[in-house]
């Protein structure tokens, strides 16, 4: 029988590797925003960091999902990681629900986080707006706590964040800091740092340049899906909201022209150029010239990704092998950390 009266020894200070954690929800079709804002950046990070990339299915069920489709959508996200160039030998790719540490640590963090912290989260306020507040799942409110658990179950030190996720990462830091203080375990959890995304961090809707491109936007015309056919991509770009002015010669001239700025930004990231480069070529030209050039570029860049995704989705066994191996490797990292967490919290351990 262990002696439960003995004080808990202080946990070791954090001195682990530089580790990146990020995730994508299997909540619908991936779009250009996810591709440029997340997948392309993930590929680049593999050279400089140990990377853990998750398909966050626990997050997806904060809003209703079709149980018949959820596993297929999880494989589709994994296929998108692979088709974009994430290397499953170097990086870990796995489904969140396959590693129970996420849910367990989220519960412990629920008892560390404060209601007031969560009530201030703007994404929750936005997502709950106009809906019957009484009828929103507790999970949607609690989502950022699970996000903190996702990161800290691996003691990840860096998290690539789009603009929309900055506040949630701050919350993860607050939770890590409070846990370390509350349990007298200085530096047990690292305070995860943002990895700034650079261009493409916020791709906007093709219908409304003030709203981000999003899977859950009811209008399919608002986004380019990774699996859209070439003619559909071209049509959506042709019909994208724009204005009647020609493109400006300088980046300053894009101020106040949200839709034009978005289309120029998309071109720049896809072409690996700066916005200034794009305007040097297209400044003074109208959308009748610019949109077809953008459509051609988008089809050329996205076509091969879609082809590889389709190939992988036709071979679920290959994707499942990657996910199973990833889950085993993720579990092996999280297990000793969770063991330490249980000890620090004071839970009974045999």
Closer to ligand AQP by CB, 55 or 98: give it.
55
Residue count of the chain: 350
Closest approach, Cβ 220 to ligand AQP, in A, equals 13
Closer to ligand AQP by CB, 183 or 209: give it.
209
Closest approach, Cβ 156 to ligand AQP, in A, equals 14
Which entry of 127, 166, 238, 301 is annotated as an active-site residue?
Answer: 127
Distance, in Å, from the CA atom of 287 to the CA atom of 245, rounded to the nearest integer, reads 8
Tokens of 12: 């070791």
Backbone angles phi, psi at 314, to 5 degrees: -80, -10
User: Whose structure tokens read 């066994």?
Assistant: 317
Closer to ligand AQP by CB, 126 or 245: give it.
126
Closer to ligand AQP by CB, 31 or 173: give it.
31
Backbone angles phi, psi at 224, to 5 degrees: -100, 115
Closest approach, Cβ 160 to ligand AQP, in A, equals 6
Shortest CA distance to 280 belongs to which of 268, 263, 269? Answer: 268
DSSP class of residue 255?
T
Comparing every residue's Cβ against ligand AQP, the nearest one is 37
Closest approach, Cβ 118 to ligand AQP, in A, equals 17
Distance, in Å, from the CA atom of 142 to the CA atom of 149, rounded to the nearest integer, reads 11
Helix (H) or strand (E) holding 161: strand 158-161
Cβ atoms of 55 and 23 closer than 8 Å? yes
Closest approach, Cβ 215 to ligand AQP, in A, equals 4
Closer to ligand AQP by CB, 95 or 188: give it.
95
Which entry of 125, 131, 166, 215 is annotated as an active-site residue?
Answer: 215
Shortest CA distance to 56 belongs to which of 103, 118, 11? Answer: 103
Helices 67-84/316-345 angle, 10° precision: 100
Give residues in contact with ligand AQP (CB under 6 A): 24-25, 27-28, 33-34, 37-38, 162, 164-165, 201-203, 212-216
Which entry of 131, 155, 211, 212 is annotated as an active-site residue?
Answer: 212
β-bridge partners, 94: 54
Helix (H) or strand (E) holding 74: helix 67-84
Closest approach, Cβ 212 to ligand AQP, in A, equals 4
Closest approach, Cβ 171 to ligand AQP, in A, equals 15
Shortest CA distance to 270 belongs to which of 37, 61, 29? Answer: 37
Residue 207: Cβ within 10 Å count: 17
Cβ atoms of 247 and 309 closer than 8 Å? no
Distance, in Å, from the CA atom of 168 to the CA atom of 33, rounded to the nearest integer, reads 19
127 carries an active-site annotation: yes
Closer to ligand AQP by CB, 34 or 180: give it.
34
Closer to ligand AQP by CB, 180 or 214: give it.
214
Tokens of 60: 């997806």
Cite the active site residues: 127, 212, 215
């Amino acid at each position: 029988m262990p002696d439960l009266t003995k004080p808990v020894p202080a946990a070791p200070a954090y001195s682990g590797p530089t580790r990146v954690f990020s995730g994508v929800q299997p909540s619908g079709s991936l779009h250009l925003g996810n591709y440029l804002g997340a997948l392309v950046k993930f590929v680049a990070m593999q050279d400089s960091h140990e990377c853990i990339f998750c398909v966050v299915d626990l997050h997806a069920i904060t809003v209703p999902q079709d149980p018949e489709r959820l596993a297929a959508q999880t494989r589709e996200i994994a296929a998108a990681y692979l088709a974009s160039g994430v290397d499953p030998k170097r990086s870990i790719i796995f489904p969140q629900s396959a590693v129970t540490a996420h849910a367990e640590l989220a519960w412990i963090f629920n008892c560390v986080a404060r209601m007031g912290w969560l009530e201030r989260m703007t994404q929750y306020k936005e997502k709950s707006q106009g809906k019957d507040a009484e009828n929103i799942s507790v999970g949607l409110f609690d989502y950022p706590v699970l996000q903190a658990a996702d990161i800290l179950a691996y003691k990840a030190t860096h998290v690539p964040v789009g603009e929309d996720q900055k506040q949630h990462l701050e919350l993860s830091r607050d939770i890590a800091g409070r846990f370390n203080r509350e349990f007298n375990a200085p530096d047990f959890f690292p305070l995860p740092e943002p990895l700034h995304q650079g261009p493409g961090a916020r791709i906007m809707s093709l219908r409304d340049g003030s709203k981000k491109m999003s899977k859950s936007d009811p209008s399919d015309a608002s986004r380019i899906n990774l699996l859209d056919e070439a003619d559909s991509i071209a049509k959506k770009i042709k019909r994208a909201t724009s204005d009647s002015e020609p493109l400006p010669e300088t980046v300053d001239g894009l101020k106040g022209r949200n839709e034009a700025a978005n289309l120029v930004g998309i071109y720049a990231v896809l072409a690996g150029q700066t916005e200034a480069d794009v305007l040097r070529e297209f400044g003074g030209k109208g959308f009748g010239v610019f949109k077809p050039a953008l459509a051609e570029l988008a089809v050329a860049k996205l076509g091969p990704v879609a082809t590889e995704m389709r190939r992988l989705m036709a071979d679920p066994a290959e994707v499942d092998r990657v996910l199973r191996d990833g889950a085993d490797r993720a579990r092996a990292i999280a297990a000793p950390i969770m063991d330490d967490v249980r000890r620090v919290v004071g839970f009974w351990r045999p």
